[in-house]
Amino acid sequence: MVKLGFHVSIAGAFANAVERAQVLGCDTFQIFTRSPRIWAAKPIDAASADAFTMALDASGISPVVDHMPYLPNPAAEKPEIYEKSVATLTDELNRCSRLNIPYLVTHLGHHGAEGQKKGREKVIAAIGHALDNAAGDTMILLENTANEKNTVGGTFTDIGAIADGLGREPRIGFCFDTCHAAAAGYDLKGHGAETVFGWFADEAGDLSRLKVIHLNDMKGGIGSHLDRHEHLGLGMLGEDTIHDVLTFPKISHCAFIMETPSNEVRDDAENMAVARRLAAM
């Protein structure tokens, strides 16, 4: 059985995230270690870190995944934004080390007038600097995007070029978002998981380096470049495609994290029930 979980809140205390994940029946979960919408971050004190790791050990849930906040742009053209982005990425790796979190998912930003190639080079330099200057052995997972205008990481080839630029760095892996991939034009519904993940392996890197699946249905159409998530089975991908992804053997080692809405249509517990049912079919 695949490991299923959600992005959960750390509101109140880091340890509260573990309890929230348990209530939802998670095997794995994802968090932000800070507010994702501001640059500043409160330091993680020893007591908070210890309480989190003790709660996590007692729960048996693993792995935990951290997601980078929204503001950093490791492909930024403006020097001040780029420098803050590199510093935040480095700091986030240190925060992961403090909390014993093995994976840090990051988007790869948006380039400016300098263009795609220069944007890639900046991302490679930013990640390399962060890995060289942070503690611990947390793996950075490069996440594919919906390939919006000026995005870096919107194609599998782009992801692969960045991974290649970092050499055989063992702390580099991948996060695959189903909504983003389909929105970028990779037709999971039409071609199926085996074909699309085959493309990913050929263009980005070996599937053994793929550690996290962001399991999301989508509001927009294939190739829409619209990054808007939908409840599992209720979007353009539909239940058959979600089932196809959940049961594709070559990615069964991954942590499947849902970033689906929680609203009057369906809450997290109901999305978990759908995911369990589709995974068992």
C-alpha Rg value of the chain to the nearest Å: 18
pLDDT band, very low/low/confident/very high, at 116 (cuts 50, 70, 90): confident
Hey, where are the domains in the chain?
Answer: 3-280
Per-residue model confidence as pLDDT tens digits over 69-96: 999 999 999 999 999 999 999 999 999 9
Supply φ then ψ for residue 45, to 5 degrees. -80, 160
Supply φ then ψ for residue 86, to 5 degrees. -65, -40
What Cα–Cα distance (Å) separates residue 141 from each residue in 8, 89, 112?
19, 12, 23
- How far apart are the C-alpha atoms of 14 and 247, rounded to whole Å? 32
The CATH superfamily label for domain 3-280 reads: Divalent-metal-dependent TIM barrel enzymes (3.20.20.150)
Q: Dihedral sign, CA of 196, 281, 214, 174?
A: negative
Q: What's the half-sphere exposure (Cβ side, CA atoms, 13 Å) at 206? A: 5
- How far apart are the C-alpha atoms of 47 and 132, rounded to whole Å? 27
Which of 8-22, 104-118, 199-213, 232-246 is least confident? 104-118
Specify the pLDDT at position 113: 79
Q: Which two tokens stand for residue 256?
A: 């499947």
Q: What angle do CA 144, 149, 150 make, to 5 degrees?
A: 80
- Residue reference for tokens 């190739």: 223
Specify the pLDDT at position 8: 98
Specify the pLDDT at position 57: 97
pTM of the model: 0.97
Q: Which two tokens stand for residue 270?
A: 């109901």
